[in-house]
A and B are shown apart, each in its own frame.
Chain A
Amino acid sequence: AQSVAQPEDQVNVAEGNPLTVKCTYSVSGNPYLFWYVQYPNRGLQFLLKYITGDNLVKGSYGFEAEFNKSQTSFHLKKPSALVSDSALYFCAVRDGWSNDYKLSFGAGTTVTVRA
């Protein structure tokens, strides 16, 4: 079984401040981790992924995420948030050893960046 937890329903930050969106995961096999962003009335857009290698992954729009195997976490970060980063963020996990390639999503975190 695999699952994702996003412990915060909402994150509020001021523009220019660091932004962190938390994600923890559970898989039986090898975790492949993804972050997606959803803007209002839009589909999900891919931000970044961790498959293997360097634990710090850089993605689109200045976002990065750090894979921590011991803490089973994959937190999304941005050093300086913009108002345009306000959106709904989803963390997702796949088990690299599974044959069904199922992608499991967290419940989502709404980010609001105030000017």
Chain B
Amino acid sequence: EAQVTQNPRYLITVTGKKLTVTCSQNMNHEYMSWYRQDPGLGLRQIYYSMNVEVTDKGDVPEGYKVSRKEKRNFPLILESPSPNQTSLYFCASSFRAEANTEAFFGQGTRLTVV
């Protein structure tokens, strides 16, 4: 089954404790991105990757890191999480970076930083 898989689905952590949210897709997609969803703000892009070893900042990159060493994986790293990073996070992938391709989303990771 074609899908984008995120882990974990739920995570509660403490301020300053490094964490990684994994994202993997099995569709051989080139383009991957991370979003955070906050009430009243919709989805905002954190980082995106147009292909292996190519990543760039989205609208809200502060406090986050990403890497794209393999085509299928695009982990999101929070080196020192803070309470304002409490949010619902989505990973998405698209066949290519072209503007006319739709995105496939993971099921989300609900992160709480206390």
A interface residues (Cβ-Cβ under 8 A, vs B):
4, 6, 9, 32, 34, 36, 41-46, 49, 51, 90, 92, 94-96, 98, 100-108
Contacts and interface: CB of A to CB of B under 8 A. Distances in A.
A102 B58 contact: yes
Interface of B: 4, 31, 33, 35, 40-45, 48, 50, 56, 58-59, 90, 92, 97-100, 102-108
Contacts of A41: 107-108
B43 A100 contact: no
B90 A44 contact: yes
Contacts of B99: 32, 94-96, 98, 101
Contact of B45 (A44, A96, A102): A102
28 contacts: A4-B42, A32-B100, A36-B105, A41-B107, A41-B108, A42-B107, A42-B108, A43-B4, A43-B106, A44-B90, A44-B103, A44-B105, A46-B104, A49-B100, A90-B43, A94-B100, A100-B48, A101-B31, A101-B48, A101-B98, A102-B58, A102-B59, A103-B45, A105-B35, A105-B42, A105-B43, A106-B42, A107-B40
Contacts of A108: 42
B107 A107 contact: no
A45 B42 contact: no
A90 B45 contact: no
Given A101-B97, A102-B58, A46 B102 contact: yes
Nearest to B98: A101
Nearest to B43: A105
Most buried by B among A41, A46, A103: A103
Given A46-B102, A101-B50, 7 more contacts: A6-B42, A43-B90, A46-B103, A101-B98, A102-B48, A103-B45, A107-B40
Contact of B107 (A32, A43, A95): A43
B45 A107 contact: no
A51 B45 contact: no
A115 B16 CA distance: 47
Contacts of B106: 43
Nearest 8 Cβ contacts at the A-B interface = A43-B105, A105-B42, A105-B43, A44-B105, A94-B99, A107-B42, A46-B102, A51-B100
